[in-house]
């Protein structure tokens, strides 16, 4: 199936390519790489271990699922944050402010450890802010490049940060004999990143500086144009796949380390598993844009979902905690890098820069809210009945069936001569709007 994107010179939403402030320099790329490394690090220090921290504090599967539910509900506030930073054009200042607030909120988890109510309140506050910080830095990086595909090659530093900090947390837990180091390392990385961006952002000429507020009429016009020219069956399917990818990631993030700990896995092994996933993701980040250009977004998403199913199957049959490394070895092609990287590049190519915060937060609502948030809730009931390994096994079958159905639909569509890539469909939508 020939599934190619439109040329970079023909964006879908904007009638002309967004003009960069200046050509990005190697020094600016280095600053962005360091910032994304730290951002990935603070996520790596927290997300893989948060469920383990709760488990060690005495909370069971249903409490873990309840925290995941509150986290997912909090994610639905993400577009509000995205709308605010877009409308006020304060992406740099907003990023710094959010990081400072997160530093305080995450440290507050430590004195609140004995109260599930306080934990839920803190989770509700931090969920949209944590994802918003991730979205804002990613969009700032994405739109700094004329060719949006280059974003992924810088974004791989986030995975390096994730794996490095996850390994550091694992070793620190063994050394200090406490899971509380999770929040100390998170706060340290968060504070350092805010200071760094505050000092460096005025010199990032390739990134549009904060400017005057967008009028309400102008903002509403931009949103209406986005809905008219981009939203359709093809994008709905792509976002649905993003939600499924988030669901698979949510299951792994919530229950994998709890499973390994119950199998007597040590802290260094937990960190090694995440570090393996990081290394496996690096070539995916590097090559995701040219692969998309060759086979298209739909096929990239199907391949990613298939390998997510394989990862879940491996976790469902392991007998030794070290065998989880085999699952993490597929974390690139069957994980966040392929699913998030592909949809981010696609949206960067078709959405105007004025709505970069809104579009990116919508992606995270489906990945982290609908997907990673609600899947642990449903899975918790399966865990109570069949155990964590049984849940992983059942989930792998569900995702495999979804891949098979969508792949069969595409093959039939292709044989009938009616198959059209999402990139081509968006290009035709723009042509119709111009001739109307």
pLDDT tens-digit readout, 366-414 = 888 788 878 888 888 899 899 999 999 999 999 999 999 999 999 998 8
First to last CA, the chain: 30
Q: Which CATH class is domain 26-208+218-435?
A: mainly alpha
Residues 6+ apart with CB under 8 A from 173: 49, 179, 181, 182, 267, 270
pLDDT at 413: 86
Instruction: Provide the token pair at 11.
Output: 């964006």
Burial of 256 (0-12, 13-18, 19+ CB in 10 A): buried
Instruction: Provide the token pair at 159.
Output: 């995975």
Residues 6+ apart with CB under 8 A from 214: 86, 87, 88, 89, 222, 354
What is the percent of the chain with per-residue pLDDT over 70, rounded to a whole number?
89
The pLDDT tens digits for 312-366 are 999 999 998 888 899 999 999 999 899 999 999 888 887 777 777 778 888 888 8
The pLDDT tens digits for 106-120 are 999 999 998 999 999
Least confident of 143-147, 165-169, 296-300, 309-313: 165-169
Contact 373, 72 (CB under 8 A): yes
Higher local confidence (pLDDT), 89 or 287: 287
The pLDDT tens digits for 403-427 are 999 999 999 988 888 777 776 666 5
Cα radius of gyration rounded to whole Å, the chain: 21
| pLDDT band at residue 21 under the 50/70/90 scheme | low
pLDDT at 395: 95
Which residue ranges make up each domain of the chain?
A: 26-208+218-435
| pLDDT band at residue 14 under the 50/70/90 scheme | very low
What is the percent of the chain with per-residue pLDDT over 90, rounded to a whole number?
30
- For residues 118-154, b (16+ Cβ closer than 10 Å) or e, as one string? ebbebbebbbbbbbbbbbbbbbbbbbbbeebbbbbbb
pLDDT at 7: 43
pLDDT at 253: 83
Distance, in Å, from the CA atom of 310 to the CA atom of 245, rounded to the nearest integer, reads 13
pTM for the predicted model, two decimal places: 0.77
CA 97 to chain centre: 21
pLDDT at 405: 96
The pLDDT tens digits for 194-226 are 999 999 988 888 888 877 667 777 777 777 776
pLDDT at 86: 82
Residues 6+ apart with CB under 8 A from 340: 242, 245, 363, 367
User: Please, how many CA atoms are within 13 Å of residue 369, restricted to the half-sphere of its CB?
Assistant: 20
The pLDDT tens digits for 83-99 are 888 888 888 999 999 99
Answer yes or no: is pLDDT of 431 > 70: no
pLDDT at 55: 85
| pLDDT band at residue 18 under the 50/70/90 scheme | very low
Distance, in Å, from the CA atom of 82 to the CA atom of 365, rounded to the nearest integer, reads 11
Q: How does the average pLDDT of the chain come out, rounded? A: 83
Distance, in Å, from the CA atom of 12 to the CA atom of 255, rounded to the nearest integer, reads 40
- For residues 281-306, b (16+ Cβ closer than 10 Å) or e, as one string? bbebbbebbebbbebbbbbbbbbbbb
Least confident of 132-136, 253-257, 278-282: 253-257
Distance, in Å, from the CA atom of 107 to the CA atom of 185, rounded to the nearest integer, reads 10
pLDDT at 389: 93
Q: In this structure, how many other beta carbons lie within 10 angstroms of the beta carbon of residue 238?
A: 21
């Amino acid at each position: 199936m020939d599934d190619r994107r439109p040329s970079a010179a023909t964006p879908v939403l904007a009638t002309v390519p967004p003009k960069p402030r200046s050509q990005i320099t190697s020094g600016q790329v280095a600053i962005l790489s360091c910032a994304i490394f730290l951002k990935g690090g603070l996520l790596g220090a927290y997300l893989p271990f948060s469920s383990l921290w709760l488990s060690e504090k005495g909370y069971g599967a249903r409490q873990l699922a309840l925290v995941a539910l509150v986290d997912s509900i909090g994610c639905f506030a993400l577009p509000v944050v995205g709308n605010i930073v877009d409308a006020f054009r304060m992406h740099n200042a907003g990023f710094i402010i959010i990081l400072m607030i997160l530093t305080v909120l995450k440290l507050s988890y430590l004195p609140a450890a004995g109260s599930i109510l306080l934990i839920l309140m803190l989770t509700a506050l931090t969920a949209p802010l944590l994802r918003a910080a991730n979205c804002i830095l990613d969009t700032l990086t994405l739109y700094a490049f004329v060719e949006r595909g280059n974003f992924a090659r810088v974004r791989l530093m986030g995975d390096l940060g994730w794996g490095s900090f996850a390994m550091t947390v694992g070793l620190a837990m063994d050394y200090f004999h406490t899971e509380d180091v999770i929040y100390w390392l998170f706060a340290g990385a968060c504070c350092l990143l805010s200071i760094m961006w505050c000092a460096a952002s005025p010199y990032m000429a390739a990134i549009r500086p904060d400017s005057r507020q967008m009028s309400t009429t102008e903002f509403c016009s931009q949103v209406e144009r986005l809905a008219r020219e981009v939203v359709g069956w093809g994008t709905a399917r792509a976002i649905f796949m993003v939600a499924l990818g988030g669901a698979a990631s949510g299951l792994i993030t919530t229950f994998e380390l709890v499973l390994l700990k119950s199998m007597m896995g040590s802290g260094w092994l937990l960190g090694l598993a995440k570090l393996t996933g990081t290394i496996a993701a690096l070539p995916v980040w590097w090559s995701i844009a040219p692969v998309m250009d060759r086979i298209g977004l739909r096929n990239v998403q199907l391949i990613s979902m298939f390998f997510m199913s394989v990862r879940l199957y491996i976790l469902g049959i392991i007998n030794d905690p070290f065998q989880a490394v085999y699952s993490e070895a597929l974390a690139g092609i069957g994980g966040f890098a392929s699913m998030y990287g592909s949809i981010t590049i696609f949206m960067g190519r078709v959405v105007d820069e004025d709505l970069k915060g809104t579009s990116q937060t919508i992606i995270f609502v489906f990945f982290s809210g609908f997907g990673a948030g609600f899947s642990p809730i449903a899975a918790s009931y399966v865990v109570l009945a069949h155990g964590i390994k049984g849940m992983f096994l059942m989930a792998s079958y569900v995702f495999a069936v979804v891949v098979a159905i969508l792949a069969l639909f595409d093959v039939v569509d292709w044989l009938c001569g009616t198959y059209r890539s999402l990139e081509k469909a968006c290009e035709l939508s723009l042509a119709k709007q111009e001739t109307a």
